[in-house]
């Protein structure tokens, strides 16, 4: 494939035309990059195994890493998932509270979902996107859409159409430009489990729906981090993930940073605060701040992948990242910094 077409979805008056065109492409077994509120996804008809195989081929994604299935309605959940009776109440509560939105539920799958989507697992990750384009396309298609992030496997997730072009331009036929993603981080993934008193919500990937937001529904548990690259039960669990091509180092303390002579270093700072002990302690060649002066985790989350990609495209030799407080959205950002720093 030599050329990737970009469809502008910013004009509301043209949205119906765009939705019909994109749904027709997916129905024909094509892959299309689509905007969601979290990151851009590389979508295919989730019930078409041959179409889903194109996702793995384009992304160079290992077949043991499962995909998330996007539905267009609450009723469509029961088309792809066999929700046990003991989980029905908690699943309904979670959907009502956080759908459409950045929450993925891991549920027992139905046989109609191809094994390639779930990497042979008996479960499937399901969510309903809040982005108007993704939601409308899913409903128009009438079938769920499998859509991992629209980037090469393990790389920085794209939060704009231009970032998708840099990652997959020339490899896919179509990108739908729906503007910048408002959340900036991939969806939270949880696997609900029934309990005697309260359900347990196993948080397999932290994201915009935080532990604090989920605690009213049940006991939230984080599994031990996958350090051996063993087969995951949900996306984003591999030790090496979200990584720039340049070395990324997460330093808990500035004293852990030992610069090498002749190397150029960039700092990814939380808010540019002197209290962190980084920004004025070294003559950085480049500094980017996730939330300049404010220290707001929501702003940091939106800017995270954009700034990481910007630093990766600069002429520095290594990226040094300050730590963030591991509360709220800080948990998801720190998780991605850890995984992104393990490749090198």
223: Cα within 13 Å, side-chain hemisphere: 18
Q: What is residue 193's predicted lDDT score, i.e. its pLDDT?
A: 97
Query: CA-based diameter of the chain, in Å?
Result: 62
Positions in the chain whose pLDDT score sits under 50: none
Q: What is residue 130's predicted lDDT score, i.e. its pLDDT?
A: 97
The three-point CA angle 92-93-94 to 5° equals 95
Tokens linked to 263: 């190397």
140-193 pLDDT per residue, tens: 999 999 999 999 998 999 999 999 999 999 999 999 999 999 999 999 999 999
Task: List all residues 6 or more positions away from 177 whose beta carbon is below 8 Å from its beta carbon.
Answer: 6, 7, 8, 9, 10, 35, 161
Q: How far apart are CA 118 and CA 63, in angstroms?
A: 9
Contact 129, 73 (CB under 8 A): no
Q: What is residue 184's predicted lDDT score, i.e. its pLDDT?
A: 94
pTM for the structure as a whole = 0.93
Q: What is residue 251's predicted lDDT score, i.e. its pLDDT?
A: 94
Q: What is residue 2's predicted lDDT score, i.e. its pLDDT?
A: 67
Q: What is residue 103's predicted lDDT score, i.e. its pLDDT?
A: 98
Q: Which domains does the chain have, with CATH numbers?
A: 5-99+106-177 (3.90.870.10), 248-340 (3.40.50.11030)
Contact 46, 110 (CB under 8 A): no
Residues 293, 310, 244, 202, CA torsion sign: positive
């Amino acid at each position: 494939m030599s050329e990737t077409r970009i469809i502008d979805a910013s004009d509301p008056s043209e949205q119906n035309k765009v939705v019909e065109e994109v749904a027709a492409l997916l129905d024909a077994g094509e892959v299309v990059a689509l905007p969601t509120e979290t990151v851009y996804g590389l979508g295919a008809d989730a019930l078409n195994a041959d179409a889903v195989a194109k996702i793995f081929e384009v992304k160079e994604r290992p077949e043991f890493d499962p995909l998330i299935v996007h539905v267009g309605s609450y009723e469509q959940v029961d088309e792809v998932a066999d929700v046990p009776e003991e989980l029905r109440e908690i699943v309904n509560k979670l959907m009502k509270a956080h759908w459409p939105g950045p929450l993925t539920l891991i549920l027992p799958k139905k046989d109609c979902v191809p094994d390639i989507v779930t990497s042979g697992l008996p479960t499937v990750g399901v969510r309903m996107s809040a982005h108007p384009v993704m939601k409308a396309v899913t409903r128009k298609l009438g079938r769920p859409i499998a859509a991992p992030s629209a980037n090469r496997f393990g790389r920085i997730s794209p939060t704009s159409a231009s970032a998708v072009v840099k990652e997959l331009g020339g490899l896919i036929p179509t990108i739908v430009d729906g503007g910048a993603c408002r959340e900036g981080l991939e969806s939270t993934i949880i696997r609900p489990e029934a309990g005697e008193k309260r359900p347990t919500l196993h948080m397999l990937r932290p994201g915009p729906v935080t532990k604090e937001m989920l605690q009213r529904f049940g006991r939230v548990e984080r599994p031990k981090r996958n350090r051996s690259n063993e087969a995951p039960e949900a996306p984003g669990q591999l030790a090496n993930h979200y990584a720039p091509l340049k070395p990324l180092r997460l330093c808990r303390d500035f004293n852990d940073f030992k610069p090498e002579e002749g190397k150029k270093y960039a700092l990814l700072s939380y808010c540019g605060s002197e209290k962190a002990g980084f920004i004025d302690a070294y003559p950085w060649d480049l500094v980017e701040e996730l939330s300049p002066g404010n220290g707001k985790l929501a702003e940091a989350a939106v800017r995270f992948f954009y700034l990481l990609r910007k630093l990766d495209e600069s002429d520095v030799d290594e990226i040094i990242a300050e730590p963030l407080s591991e509360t709220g959205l800080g948990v998801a950002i720190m998780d991605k910094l850890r995984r992104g720093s393990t490749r090198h």
